[in-house]
Each structure stands twice: as C-alpha cells, then as structure tokens.
Amino acid sequence: MTSSIPSMTKPSVSRKACARIPTEFGDFQLCYYSNNVDTKEHLAFFMGDIGGSEPVLVRVHSECFTGDVMGSRRCDCGEQLKHAMALVAAAGRGVILYLRQEGRGIGLLEKLRAYNLQDQGYDTVDANLMLGHEADERDYTLAACILADLGVQQVRLMTNNPSKIVALKNQGVSVVERVPVEIPANTDNAGYLLTKLKRMDHQLHLEPAAGDARDIQPAN
C-alpha cells in the first residue's frame, strides 16, 4: 500500500460513524474508518461483545468487487465473506474487517487487465508480475489499528493464508488460532485455488481435478 504521508508518521485510524446493519445472518454493526495513510473507506463489520481478553473470531477481508458484489465465479472471495459472516453469527461475536485492497492491492483496473492475461493462460501470480506488480501488494497496518480501536486483544483469524497471519503478527496482533475458510471449488476457480495452494502457500484441501480448470482470478 502506498502511503501519502511521511514514512515517520505513525499510522492511525479514526472511527467516524457506526450503524446497525440487519442481514440474513443477524444484526451487525458497520463502522466507517478514516485514516492518515490513504483516502480509502476501510470498514469494520462486527457482532456481539468483542472487547475483553477472550479470543475473537476475525476475518480480514480484502475488497473484491467482482466476487463480493457481482457474484463472480472466478474466485472464492464472495463466498468466503458470507461464510465468515455465518461463522461470526454462529459464535455470537466476531469481526470482519473490509479493507479496500482490490486485486491483492493492485486495484480494480489492473485486476481486470490481469484477468485478461489469465484468460490467455497465465496464472494469477504471473499476471500480476507481468503488469509490473508484486504477487501480493496488500498491507495490514490499518487492520491492526482498527482491531486495536475495537478493543480486540486476541484473534482467531479466519483465513487460509499463512502470510496474512505473519503480517498481522508483525503489526502486533495476537493471532492465537487459524480458522479455515475453505470454499468448494467450481469449474471457473479451481485452477486459481490450485495456484493459491502451490504458489502462495495457502492451506487448502483440493480435489486432484482442480488442476484441470484455468486460473483466472487474482487472489484474495
């Protein structure tokens, strides 16, 4: 993530407003955060009492317009988001951070360009590299700031990505458990999931046939 402030400035967030959001999984609170690093609208979506020393279910979800909003089958992002909401609802408490880091941080325009490269046969990692980006450009500094603001002391992180756990721990977040968020593959995203497994070290359990499908989605 590119910062618009001097590197010596300590990143910080400010909670601007919260509102009740009724969903199919129950009532959540949605909080809007501003910050001194970028101009993006990062959000916290939570349920129940999340303060105190008891570990809290947390999903740090990077924005995916195509999957979260349009229901694209090129990825598992939208389904992961819904699954995380269901897990939080079942537990009665938990947090979903919605970070505006589309396409692993490269933005929607570049993500669409990466899609076109993937349709030509390149995988999601190589497509990003061919466009001059890193395989993953996301930053979790603001996630740590928001969790601190919410009073979350220990995290049961809903993720398949070990690198996300390391990144959050490097920001001082106490991650005490990994909770899998595995979604069954479909014919459009099986190759993409296989690339996550083989090239990005995600902890997934895939059927052997997964390698038969094309890899056509930047990872979330």
Digit-coded pLDDT (tens) for 117-169:
999 999 889 999 999 999 999 999 999 999 999 999 999 999 999 999 999 99
Asked if residue 67 has pLDDT above 90, the reply is yes
Active site residue 136: yes
- C-alpha angle 92-96-99 in degrees, rounded to nearest 5: 175
Residue 7 lies in a domain: no
Asked if residue 190 has pLDDT above 80, the reply is yes
Question: What is the predicted pLDDT for the residue at 4?
Answer: 45
DSSP string, 40-91: --EEEEEES---SSS-EEEEEEE--IIIIIT--TT-SHHHHHHHHHHHHHHH
Could you give phi then psi for residue 9, rounded to 5 degrees? -75, 130
Question: What is the predicted pLDDT for the residue at 212?
Answer: 44
Q: What is the pLDDT of residues 53-63, one digit of tens each?
A: 899 999 999 99
- 48, 54 contact by CB (below 8 A): no
Q: How far apart are CA 100 and CA 27, in angstroms?
A: 23
Q: Which of 203, 101, 104 is nearest to 159 (CA)?
A: 203
Q: What is the pLDDT of residues 141-153, one digit of tens each?
A: 999 999 999 999 9
Residue 4 lies in a domain: no
pLDDT band at 209 (very low <50, low <70, confident <90, very high): very low
Residue 42 lies in a domain: yes
Q: What is the pLDDT of residues 1-43, one digit of tens each?
A: 344 445 568 999 999 999 999 999 999 999 999 999 999 999 9
Residue 217 lies in a domain: no
Compute the chain's Rg from CA coordinates.
17
Give the residue carrying structure tokens 């990003």: 128
Question: What is the predicted pLDDT for the residue at 3?
Answer: 41
- Other C-beta atoms closer than 10 Å to the C-beta of 9 total 10
Q: How many residues does the chain have?
A: 220
212 DSSP assignment: G
CA distances from 96 to 2, 76, 191, 216 (A): 23, 16, 27, 26
Residue 6 lies in a domain: no
The range of the structural domain enclosing residue 128 comes to: 13-212
Q: How far apart are CA 110 and CA 114, in angstroms?
A: 6
CATH number at residue 41: 3.40.50.10990
Number of domains in the chain: 1
Question: What is the predicted pLDDT for the residue at 207?
Answer: 62
Point out the catalytic residue in the list 38, 76, 136, 139: 136
Residue 218 lies in a domain: no
E-strand spans in the chain?
13-23, 26-35, 42-47, 56-62, 94-99, 155-158, 175-179
Residue 2 lies in a domain: no
213 DSSP assignment: S
3-state secondary structure of 14: strand
Active site residue 178: no
Point out the catalytic residue in the list 59, 74, 104, 138: 138
Give the residue carrying structure tokens 């609170």: 29
Residue 8 lies in a domain: no
pLDDT band at 218 (very low <50, low <70, confident <90, very high): very low
